[in-house]
């Protein structure tokens, strides 16, 4: 393995157009356009670029290598949900989840191997930080999902897999631009999820592309949030609220708030009142998700009956709130959980991992 924290972009989707031109140095220039179209429009691997001469295809297979190799793949919901555990070139592992619905197809992608934010309830946070993903490694997760979704068109990307997108801002934004410009997805169908990295939220407010922002709040008083989400000690709620207010004002985009309901921890009447007080002035949409228990935080999610009651209470207090539709999938689909089951960054198992039943954390209700 390479040293910690080192990003070594190496896959085909890490190359810029100019770099593809350079790879094809002795070929006529139109070839670079053909190869670029092959990668981004036809989602093809070099071997599938049958409009190229065979010798060139063979040569490109050595130069335009994949950045991701499947270490495990599970499906659920009759194939409508697909979860991959990808192995990166240096052996690190990340996950993505493809979700097909009657009206849309969405992929949830990872932005880092591991995560440094240390949220106590999160499997990825419990495992710790390994490294940033490169732009190409992020884009390639989308490409793989677009290929798998065929003949349907994948139209939505949520950056809600492993890692904190705004802690890897430049590479994530590079991926947003590629996905928008070259894969042709609308910026309004891309959603970045953050735990509350305030400088990142400020930068996002100034960006040209109007992507959606989801804030993983989970607690709206500093004492509780400091414990659940340690980054709150650096960027406390007042500062976070101010950055969100500026984001909403300058971008004109709606903010959504994620709230994982944890039994007896953040689902009491006071917690909901604090949530309402935070969300209302921002005009934010609240997504309630019952917590998925993880090995390092064996507290259960709020039972369904009380999730519904929490939603009703928020709505009654003037907050736009919905319960995130979960599918009854049992494929370790909460991001970080499949990697934990398949033993982190150990070598890929020869046979598929045993399907230990863990409930899906669905990401379906991200803004469309």
* Residue recorded with tokens 């790879």: 23
Give the sign of the dihedral formed by CA 344, CA 193, CA 150, CA 78.
positive
Q: Are 258 and 300 in contact (CB under 8 A)?
A: no
Q: Which is nearer to ligand SAH, 292 or 341 (CB)?
A: 292
- Spell out the residues 6+ positions from residue 350 whose beta carbon is closer than 8 angstroms to its own: none
Structure tokens belonging to residue 101: 């619905």
User: Applying CB under 6 A, does 276 fall inside the site for ligand SF4?
Assistant: no
Is 335 known to be catalytic?
A: yes
Judged by beta carbon distances under 5 to 8 A according to partner kind, the member of ligand SAH, ligand SF4, none in contact with residue 292 is ligand SAH
Report the alpha-carbon distance of residue 357 to residue 340 in Å, rounded. Answer: 13
Binding to ligand SAH by residue 216, rule CB under 6 A?
A: yes
Q: Which of 45/361 has CB closer to ligand SF4?
A: 361
**Is 119 a residue of the active site?**
no
Q: Please give, one letter per residue, the 3-state secondary structure of 8-22.
A: CCCCHHHCCHHHHHH
Choose, by CB under 6 A, the member of 127, 289, 319, 333 that binds ligand SAH. 289
Q: Of the listed pieces 50-58, 86-94, 113-121, 251-259, which binds ligand SF4 according to CB under 6 A?
A: 113-121
Residue 125 is a binding residue for ligand SF4 (CB under 6 A): yes
The answer to whether 96 contacts ligand SF4 (rule: CB under 6 A) is no
Q: Answer yes or no: are the C-beta atoms of 113 and 95 closer than 8 Å.
A: no
- Of 280-339, binders to ligand SF4 (CB under 6 A) are none
Smallest distance, ligand SF4 to C-beta of residue 338, A? 14
Q: Identify the residue among 82, 99, 117, 146 touching ligand SF4 (CB under 6 A).
A: 117
Does 217 contact ligand SF4 by CB under 6 A?
no
CA 249/CA 97 separation, integer angstroms: 32
CB atoms within 10 A of CB 88: 25
The C-alpha atoms of residue 199 and residue 216 are separated, in whole angstroms, by 16
Q: Are 189 and 152 in contact (CB under 8 A)?
A: no
- Binding segment for ligand SF4 (CB under 6 A), chosen from 35-43, 59-67, 114-122, 298-306, is 114-122
**Which one of residues 96, 266, 294, 365 is an interface residue with ligand SAH (CB under 6 A)?**
294
**How many C-alpha atoms does 296 have within 13 Å on its Cβ side?**
16
Contact status: 124 vs ligand SF4 (CB under 6 A): yes
Which residues contact ligand SAH by CB under 6 A?
A: 115, 121-122, 160, 164, 193-195, 216, 258, 260, 289, 291-292, 294, 334-335, 361
Q: Which residues form the catalytic set?
A: 95, 335
């Amino acid at each position: 393995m390479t040293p910690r924290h080192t990003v070594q972009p190496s896959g085909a989707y890490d190359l810029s157009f100019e770099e593809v031109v350079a790879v094809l140095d002795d070929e006529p220039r139109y070839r670079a356009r053909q190869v670029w179209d092959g990668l981004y429009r036809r989602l093809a691997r070099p071997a599938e670029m049958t409009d190229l001469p065979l010798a060139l295809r063979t040569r490109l297979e050595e130069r335009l290598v994949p950045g991701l190799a499947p270490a495990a793949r599970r499906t659920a919901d009759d194939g409508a949900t697909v979860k991959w555990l990808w192995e990166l070139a240096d052996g690190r592992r990340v996950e993505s989840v493809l979700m097909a619905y009657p009206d849309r197809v969405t992929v949830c992608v990872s932005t880092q191997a591991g995560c440094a934010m240390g949220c106590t309830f999160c499997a990825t946070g419990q495992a710790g930080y390994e490294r940033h993903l490169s732009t190409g490694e992020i884009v390639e997760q989308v490409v793989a999902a677009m290929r798998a979704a065929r003949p349907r068109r994948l139209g939505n990307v949520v950056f809600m897999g492993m890692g904190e997108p705004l802690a890897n801002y430049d590479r994530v934004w590079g991926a947003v631009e590629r996905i928008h410009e070259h894969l042709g997805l609308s910026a309004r169908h891309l959603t970045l999820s953050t735990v509350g990295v305030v400088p990142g939220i400020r930068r996002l407010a100034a960006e040209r592309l109007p992507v959606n922002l989801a804030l993983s709040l989970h607690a709206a008083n500093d004492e509780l949030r400091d414990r659940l989400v340690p980054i709150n000690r650096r960027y406390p709620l007042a500062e976070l609220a101010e950055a969100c207010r500026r984001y909403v004002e300058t971008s004109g985009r709606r903010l959504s708030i994620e709230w994982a309901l944890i039994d007896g921890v953040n689902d009491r009447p006071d917690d909901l009142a604090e949530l309402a007080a935070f969300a209302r002035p921002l005009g934010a949409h609240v997504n309630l998700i019952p917590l998925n228990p993880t090995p390092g935080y064996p507290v259960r999610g709020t039972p369904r009956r009380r999730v519904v009651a929490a939603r009703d209470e928020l709505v009654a207090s003037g907050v736009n709130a919905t319960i995130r539709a979960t599918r009854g999938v049992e494929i370790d689909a909460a991001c970080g959980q499949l990697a934990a089951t398949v033993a982190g960054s150990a070598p890929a198992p020869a046979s598929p991992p045993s399907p230990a039943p863990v409930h899906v954390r669905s990401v379906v209700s991200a803004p469309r």
